[in-house]
Amino acid sequence: MNHIPPITEAELEIMRVLWINPDSPSSHVVQQMTERMEWSPNTTRTLLSRLVQKEAAGAKPGTNSKRTQLFYPLISEQEYLRSETKSFMKKLYGGALHPMLANFLKDKKLNAQEIEDLKALFDENGSCGEAEKRDT
């Protein structure tokens, strides 16, 4: 999916349930949100409807009952995270990775394993930065 709709914090909680349990009946989502967030069933159903309207989630009839709807994500968690990361970097750092990493590293001391993991990630994706500059 190319366009990721804006998702509120509350809607994101619903999406997390759908990413873990695609094709969930509304009763399952309601139960999960009641347990996790202490939301009323109406709140959860309203948020499910909004996600369907935004085309972040879909709904289809259940197989056992005509009254049951199954909800499923239309965007993957990876797509959402990537979109939010790009938006965050663009808003706060003008899309530049270096200032963001520098700011992050001022407050966090990395251990040797984390440093090695980051080096490997940069080596693995060395040309990625140039491709992203061309994409934007």
Residues 4-57 have pLDDT tens digits of 999 999 999 999 999 999 999 999 999 999 999 999 999 999 999 999 999 999
Q: Please state, as a whole number, how many other Cβ atoms lie within 10 Å of the Cβ of residue 99.
A: 13
Between 110 and 37, residue with greater pLDDT = 37
The model's pTM is 0.77
Q: Map residue 102 onto helix, strand or coil.
A: helix
Residues 6+ away with beta carbon under 8 Å from 101? none
Q: Tell me if 62 sits within 8 A of 70, measured CB to CB.
A: yes
Residue 122 or 76, more confident: 76
* Average pLDDT for the chain: 88
Amino acid letter at 34?
T
Structure confidence at residue 101 as a pLDDT band (50, 70, 90): confident
Which one, of 101, 57, 99, 61, lies nearest residue 76 by Cα? 57
Burial class (CB in 10 A: 0-12, 13-18, 19+), 3: exposed
Q: Is the pLDDT of residue 131 over 90?
A: no
| pLDDT above 70: residue 127 | no
